[in-house]
Structure 1
Amino acid sequence: MADRPESDRLKALEEKLEKARKRAEPEKAHMEEHYSQAQLAWRMVIELVAGLGIGFGIGFGLDAVLGTRPWLMVIFTLLGFIAGVKTMIRSAEEVQRKQMEAASEAAGDQER
């Protein structure tokens, strides 16, 4: 190696680095996809729990003010659950739409 010029050594090093980067890219993409799925799952759980909590809080507060325990608390908790599920469905549709757009863009790029 000592007898080769510096530029040849640099080219060989660059080729080795490029090969190493190409091998590492699939792992990185997989990890990013894994984290995005985990973030989506947490987002949906938080939306559901928030809906339940807000419904429970409103129902409990109205029950305390109006003295109708536990009817309004039960009704508003159910309404909060329904609202949380609707929000989760909207989030899932949003993610699905983004994935469909990405897939159609990828298909369009492959045709070119």
Structure 2
Amino acid sequence: MASEPDPDRLRALEDRLAKLRGKPKPERSQTAKGFSQGEVAWRMVIELATGIVFGVGIGYGLDVLIGTLPLFLAIFSLVGFAAGVRTMLGTAREVQAREMQDKTPPKGGQDQGG
């Protein structure tokens, strides 16, 4: 006697029940190119963090070379943050454009005046 149920049998049972009920199997929420919303969110977070890290790195490196420690660090931290936000917004626009493209029906032979 097994104490745990067989996952394959449970999956098959769920499929049969869904078919009998007439409801389609629930699907994962997908966005651009089949990525889930969580994956897109992580991409945006990584883009923002990368911009900040590069800005801080460049600013600190210049400050060490020139000898003006807080000046370039502060300036390039802000520049890195702005670059990260800009990249993140570009990703958001790309995802939104792909979703709008997927939702619009194709224009095939409908009332094309001429």
Evaluate the alpha carbon distance shift between residue 18 and residue 52 of structure 1 in structure 2; reply closer, same or farther with a 3 A threshold. Answer: closer
Q: How do residues 34-53 of structure 1 correspond to structure 2 at under 5 angstroms?
A: 36-53=36-53
Identity of aligned residues (%): 42
**1:93 partner amino acid:** R
TM-score, reference length from structure 2: 0.68
Q: Which has the higher contact order (CA 8 A, sep 6+)?
A: 2
Greater Rg over alpha carbons, structure: 1
Q: Name the counterpart of 2:91.
A: 91
> How many angstroms apart in 1 are the aligned matches of 2:65 and 2:72?
11
> How many angstroms apart in 2 are the aligned matches of 1:60 and 1:68?
9
Structure 1: give runs of 5+ residues left out of the alignment. 1-15
**1:98 partner amino acid:** R
Cα shift readout 1:4-46 (whole Å, capped 9, x = no counterpart)? xxxxxxxxxxxx58826x6352x1x2x2439711111111110
Q: How do residues 57-68 of structure 1 correspond to structure 2 at under 5 angstroms?
A: 57-68=57-68
**Cα-Cα RMSD:** 2.7
**2:70 partner amino acid:** P
TM-score, reference length from structure 1: 0.69
Q: How many positions carry a matched residue from both structures?
A: 91
